[in-house]
Amino acid sequence: MLTSSACADRACRYRLIGKKGEGTFSEVLKAQGIKNGKYVAIKCMKNHFDSLDQVNNLREIQALRRLSPHPGVIKLCEVLYDQPTRRLALVFELMDMNIYELIRGRRQYLAETRIKIYMYQLLKSMDHMHRNGIFHRDIKPENILITDDELKLADFGSCRGIYSKQPYTEYISTRWYRAPECLLTDGFYNYKMDMWGVGCVFFEVLSLYPLFPGTNELDQVQKIHAILGTPPAETLAKLKKHSNSHIDFNFPHKEATPLARLIPHCSAECVDVIVKLLAYDPDDRMSARQAVKHPYFKDLRAAELKEKQAQAQAAAGSEDGISEERVGALKIDSKSLMGSSKTQTQKAREQYRMSKQVPKKPTGLIAGAIAKAGSLSDGPSGLAIGQLGVGLASQNASQSQIDAELSIKSVAKAVSHKTYQSPYSQKPRK
Ligand SMILES: Nc1ncnc2c1ncn2[C@@H]1O[C@H](COP(=O)(O)OP(=O)(O)OP(=O)(O)O)[C@@H](O)[C@H]1O
Ligand SMILES: [Mg+2]
């Protein structure tokens, strides 16, 4: 267990650069570590937290600790808790943008090879998460972050333990990405709901528009039926057992529209993955484990295997003298699989940066606390946390730094100035 004084030594400070994003529960700031110059994303929670126990119980923190480190899971660097103001902020590695920002306002399709690399990474992080007993429950483009060719899953604030008891009565995922079983039952869904979300995101990145943009729950079901067709009576009967009282199951008959017709520029294997992720019945829906093995991703799996072999050879090579060049030649460069889309993506990123220009004058954040958790175990909420320690901010900054710095409380005030136009304002929120 960390003590306050131990943490005070490790206390760190950040210079606030600007706003990076916004969610229902938080505002995310871009900041720079004053000591090490590293850029981070600080997620300032809108809620107040009365005690460390409450912070300890946050599913987001518990899940991140259980799932880290993994290349497909956003890295939580530290937890800042300021007891006097009851504010909590989570410090993450900084990513460039979310998937929604990647496609927003785009007129030209992204190259399928690029999307394939992203989706393969997404499926691998889903597999990692599900194998570790956690499901996300809020898969949507805004919660998937990218930097260049790298993709990471973020925002575990709605996650649950896979083995926790149904029904789940509290909040579930954003409507457009909500699986039929979430819409039609009173909380009788499982980790397969995440795969539905991945199917919707996959389609949206390819087509540049949301597949099922429902305006309310009933419309959401109707939008699904309009494309996938009304499901067989047996599927509906299964769902009806745990039926949601608001929805009448007498759905008018709808014929399915072949998905290939909606994304004619995509390969047949790519469409096949989406079709399998969007199986109406969760029991028939492809799992992440199965999806990563789909023939569509064969070339990426082969590239990955070669890279692993090259690494193993490099390790052995340091003993038996294999040259650097040989190792380099064995490595598969994912960038070469990207094709011509690179320039388009760079342009999109430039546009994104231009639209997010922030004031030059630096402001800052005095960080309050450092949390460190131990091992996790399944508790009543499906997850439980180990230890967490708290420290105080170091106060030996120069006058100019002090002028520029803000406490967590004043950061909260600063971010409440709505100078930033949320990219999600047109999207329905939970
Ligand atoms: N590490 C990061 N690097 C860059 N941007 C980030 C990072 N973390 C979050 N963001 C941005 O901030 C937004 C909100 O973050 P996040 O989804 O974690 O917050 P939330 O309040 O839990 O959101 P939600 O409304 O989905 O529950 C993200 O969509 C993303 O654009
Ligand atoms: Mg989010």
The pLDDT tens digits along the chain (430 residues) read 222 333 333 335 999 999 999 988 999 999 999 999 999 999 999 999 999 999 989 999 999 999 999 999 999 999 999 999 999 999 999 999 999 999 999 999 999 999 999 999 999 999 999 999 999 999 999 999 999 999 999 999 999 999 999 999 776 778 999 999 999 999 999 999 999 999 999 999 999 999 999 999 999 999 999 999 999 999 999 999 998 677 889 999 999 999 999 999 999 999 999 999 999 999 999 999 999 999 999 999 999 999 999 999 999 987 665 444 433 333 333 443 333 333 333 343 344 334 433 333 222 222 333 233 222 223 333 332 222 222 222 223 222 222 222 233 333 333 332 222 223 333 443 3
CA 154 to CA 98: how far, in whole Å?
9
Write the DSSP assignment of 234-282 as a string of letters: HHHHHHHTTB-TTS-S-PPP-PPPPHHHH-TTS-HHHHHHHHHHT-SST
Give the contacts of 304 (CB within 8 A, at least 6 positions apart): 332
Specify whether 160 is located in the same domain as 261: yes
Domain shared by 199 and 296, yes or no: yes
Q: Does residue 234 sit in the same domain as residue 85?
A: no
CATH of the domain at 18: 3.30.200.20
Residue 430 covered by a domain: no
Number of domains in the chain: 2
For the domain that residue 204 is a member of, what is the CATH number? Answer: 1.10.510.10
Distance in angstroms (rounded) separating the CA atoms of residues 358 and 129: 35
Instruction: Look at residue 106 and tell me if it is in a domain.
Output: yes
Q: 157 CB less than 6 Å from ligand 1? A: yes
Residue 422 contacts residue 415 (beta carbons within 8 Å): no
Question: Do 33 and 79 fall into the same domain?
Answer: yes
Tell me: do 247 and 221 sit in the same domain.
Answer: yes
* Residue 165 exposed, middle or buried by CB count within 10 Å (0-12, 13-18, 19+): exposed
How many angstroms separate the alpha carbon of residue 371 from the centre of ligand 1? 20
Distance CA 175, CA 428 (A): 7
* Domain contains 332: no
What residues make up the domain containing 21?
Answer: 14-93
Q: Are residues 36 and 179 in the same domain?
A: no
User: Under the phi-then-psi rule, with left for phi > 0, alpha for psi from -120 to 50, and beta for the rest, what region is 155?
Assistant: left
Q: Is there a single domain that holds both residue 84 and residue 114?
A: no
Residues tagged active-site = 138
What six digits make up the tokens of 61?
């923190």
User: Is residue 310 in a domain?
Assistant: no
d(CA 255, CA 276): 18
Is 107 within the bounds of a domain? yes
Residue 417 lies in a domain: no
Q: C-alpha distances in angstroms, 186 versus 14, 56, 165, 223, 243?
A: 44, 29, 13, 20, 6
Nearest to 397 by CA among 419, 365, 375: 365
Q: Are 22 and 44 in contact (CB under 8 A)?
A: no
Contact 42, 89 (CB under 8 A): yes
Q: Where is the domain boundary, 30, 60, 93?
A: 93
- Same domain? 89 vs 102: no
pLDDT confidence of residue 331: 33
Using a 6 Å cutoff on CB, does residue 423 contact ligand 1?
no
In degrees and rounded to multiples of 5, residue 153 shows phi and psi of -85, 135
Closest residue (by CA) to atom 13 of ligand 1? Answer: 21
Query: Going by CA atoms, what residue is nearest to atom 31 of ligand 1?
Result: 21
Among 281, 301, 321, give the residue marking a domain's end: 301
Instruction: Give the gyration radius of the chain's Cα atoms.
Output: 23
CA distance 143 to 123: 14
Q: Which atom of ligand 1 is nearest to the CA of 28?
A: 12
Q: Is there a domain that residue 3 lies in?
A: no
Q: Work out the number of other CB atoms within 10 angstroms of the CB of residue 208.
A: 16
Substitution candidate for ligand 1 out of 22, 24, 28 with most atoms within 8 A of CB = 28
Q: Which of 372, 298, 418, 314 is nearest to 52 (CA)?
A: 372
Residues 144 and 211 in one domain: yes
Q: Indicate whether 390 belongs to any domain.
A: no
**Torsion, CA 260, CA 263, CA 264, CA 265, rounded to 10:** -140
Q: Choose the residue to mutate in 14, 24, 26, 425 for probing ligand 1, maximizing ligand atoms within 8 Å of C-beta.
A: 26
Residue ending a domain, choose from 31, 62, 93: 93
Instruction: Please tell me the predicted confidence (pLDDT) of residue 243.
Output: 86
Q: Are residues 123 and 55 located together in one domain of the fold?
A: no
Q: Cα 220 vs. chain centroid, distance in angstroms? A: 23
Nearest ligand to the CA of 94 is 1
Which protein residue has the closest C-alpha to ligand 1 atom 12? Answer: 21
Q: Are residues 86 and 109 in the same domain?
A: no
Contact indicator for 387, 374 with CB cutoff of 8 Å: yes
* Residue nearest to ligand 1 atom 23, measured at CA: 23
Say if residue 18 is in the same domain as residue 164: no
Q: Which residues pair with 13 in a beta bridge?
A: 366
Reported pTM = 0.78
Closest CA to 101 of 187, 5, 21: 21
